């Protein structure tokens, strides 16, 4: 109505704007569940990913654990074990190294030697990805570490892959390099342990053989001091020669005396002298024979004990030689089975942040929410149709 009391016609532009707003409001109200379930969460995730989430850089390295030993033909037992466990003897060490790199021990090394906690608390890291506590418990740090560091062993190729995610290129590169060094240290520890295990038994056998040989040498020395003879066997042979010579002389003298008895009188001085000589030879033969046998301190007893000691000496010498050869062979086998960590791919210095994968995450969230909304819409529609 104007100043003269007449009605003013409505502005068509203003009517169209009001009608458009009402239509938009009505459309939004009709699609309110779609907006709340799909659109709003997607927008919030997009806002977080593109405006707030910190960039993460990946450094990747590959290594191979192998030994210089030539492959051996598997036995029936080892083949059956490999079929049951899915691994062979060479894979065990590589898998143990890969497992060690994601263990409490490796994390403790990185924490004290490489400032691991500080690397995950860089300024600008968003709350969802940063490590909160400046002094986290070992369990909490290990959980976070396993989220940022992936170590995977490929059973087909035998190659272990390390992937490190952090918030600066230098941190990712440094952690990957440090993990390779820790892996090399672990391989060296396995080598040392394997070497000690390989030669422990052989060394113990050699020590026992050496101790037995030393004890037998001491017993032989004590025997020689006690008997006063260095080689009773040689002494016995010499004594036997003396007895044999005297026996020959005695036999000759007796034969001469026998011949003389038929020629001259037994009372003659010549006969008496020869008879005395025979008697003297007999006494010497008896005395020398007594040294060989017949007394407690005879040479025969000494020779018997000496031969027993010498027999044991020969046995212990052979035992010592076999033990020494076994120890040397064990050393050679341990060296042949020594492990090496071969760097197949060195860690790269990342240039571009590849994580988080914003487009993929946002698409996954959108598709998931659409599926949830569609399932809910179908359920509601079914309930309404059933109710009607």
* Boundary of a domain, candidates 289, 310, 334: 334
Residue 177 lies in a domain: yes
Question: Which of 47-51, 134-138, 331-335 bottoms out in mean pLDDT, i.e. has the lowest?
Answer: 331-335
Is 187 found in the same domain as 99?
A: yes
pLDDT tens by residue, 244-288? 776 777 677 777 777 777 677 777 777 777 777 777 777 776 666
Mean pLDDT computed over every residue of the chain: 81
- 3-state secondary structure at position 164: strand
Cβ neighbours around 177 below 10 Å, total: 17
**Cα separation, 30 vs 51, whole angstroms:** 31
Residue 369 lies in a domain: no
Query: 229 φ, ψ to 5°?
Result: -140, 125
Is 106 found in the same domain as 168?
A: yes
Is 262 found in the same domain as 243?
A: yes
Beta carbons within 8 Å of 158's beta carbon, 6+ residues apart: 64, 65, 66, 90, 91, 94
Q: Cβ distance 176 to 349 under 8 Å?
A: no
Q: Read off the CATH number of the domain in which 98 is found.
A: 3.30.1890
Q: Give me the sign of the Cα torsion angle 84, 88, 93, 98.
A: negative
Token readout for 277 is: 């000589």
Beta carbons within 8 Å of 320's beta carbon, 6+ residues apart: 206, 209, 210, 213
This prediction has a pTM of 0.64
Is 184 found in the same domain as 124?
A: yes
pLDDT tens by residue, 51-60? 899 999 999 9
Top pLDDT among 93 and 268 is at: 93
**Cα separation, 379 vs 388, whole angstroms:** 14
* Boundary of a domain, candidates 334, 356, 381: 334
Residue 387 lies in a domain: no
Residue 235 lies in a domain: yes
Domain span at residue 97?
Answer: 57-200+338-345
Is 196 found in the same domain as 212?
A: no
Is 287 found in the same domain as 233?
A: yes
- Residues above pLDDT 90, as percent of the chain: 35
How many structural domains are present in the chain? 2
Which of these, 380, 370, 355, 387, lies nearest to 49 by C-alpha position? 355
Q: Give me the sign of the Cα torsion angle 343, 348, 349, 353.
A: negative
Q: Cβ distance 2 to 8 under 8 Å?
A: yes
Is 217 found in the same domain as 158?
A: no
pLDDT at 79 (0 to 100): 44
Is 142 found in the same domain as 191?
A: yes
Residue 10 lies in a domain: no
- 3-state secondary structure at position 162: strand
Question: Which of 25-29, 65-69, 230-234, 307-311 bottoms out in mean pLDDT, i.e. has the lowest?
Answer: 230-234
Q: With 70 as the cut, is the pLDDT of residue 230 above it? A: no
Is 154 found in the same domain as 69?
A: yes
Is 63 found in the same domain as 186?
A: yes
Is 230 found in the same domain as 190?
A: no
Query: 340 φ, ψ to 5°?
Result: -135, 145
Is 177 found in the same domain as 81?
A: yes
**347-364 burial: b if 16+ Cβ within 10 Å, else e:** beebeeeebbeeeebbee
Q: Cβ distance 123 to 161 under 8 Å?
A: no
């Amino acid at each position: 109505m104007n100043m003269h009391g007449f009605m003013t016609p409505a502005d068509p532009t203003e009517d169209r704007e009001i009608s458009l707003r009402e239509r938009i409001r009505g459309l939004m109200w009709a699609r309110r569940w779609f907006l709340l379930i799909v659109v709003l969460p997607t927008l919030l995730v997009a806002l977080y990913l593109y405006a707030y989430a910190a960039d993460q850089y990946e450094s990747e390295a590959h290594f191979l654990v192998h030994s210089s030993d030539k492959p051996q033909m598997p036995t029936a037992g080892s083949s059956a074990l490999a079929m049951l466990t899915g691994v062979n003897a060479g894979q065990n060490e590589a898998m143990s190294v890969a497992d060690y790199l994601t263990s409490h021990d490796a994390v403790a090394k990185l924490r004290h030697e490489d400032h691991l906690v500080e690397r995950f608390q860089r300024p600008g890291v968003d709350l969802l990805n940063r490590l909160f506590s400046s002094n986290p418990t070992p369990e909490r740090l290990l959980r976070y570490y396993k989220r940022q560091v992936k170590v995977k062993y490929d059973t087909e190729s035998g190659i272990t892959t390390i992937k490190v995610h952090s918030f600066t290129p230098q941190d990712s590169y440094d952690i990957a390099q440090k993990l390779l060094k820790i892996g090399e240290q672990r391989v060296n520890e396995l080598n040392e342990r394997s070497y000690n295990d390989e030669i422990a038994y052989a060394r113990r056998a050699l020590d026992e053989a050496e101790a037995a040989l030393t004890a037998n040498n001491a017993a032989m020395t004590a025997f020689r001091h006690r008997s006063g003879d260095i080689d009773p066997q040689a002494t016995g042979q010499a004594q036997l020669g003396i007895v044999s010579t005297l026996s020959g002389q005695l036999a000759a003298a007796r034969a001469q005396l026998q011949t003389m008895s038929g020629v001259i009188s037994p009372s003659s001085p010549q006969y008496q002298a020869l008879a005395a000589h025979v008697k003297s030879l007999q006494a010497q033969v008896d005395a020398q024979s007594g040294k060989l046998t017949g007394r407690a301190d005879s040479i025969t007893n000494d020779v018997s004990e000496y031969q027993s000691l010498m027999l044991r000496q020969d046995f212990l010498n052979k035992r010592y030689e076999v033990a020494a050869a076994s120890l040397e062979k064990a050393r050679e086998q341990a060296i042949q089975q020594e492990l090496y960590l071969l760097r197949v791919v060195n860690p790269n210095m990342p240039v571009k942040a590849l994580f988080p994968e914003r487009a993929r995450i946002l698409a996954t969230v959108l598709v998931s929410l659409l599926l949830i909304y569609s399932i809910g819409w179908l359920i509601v529609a079914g309930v309404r149709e059933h109710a009607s």
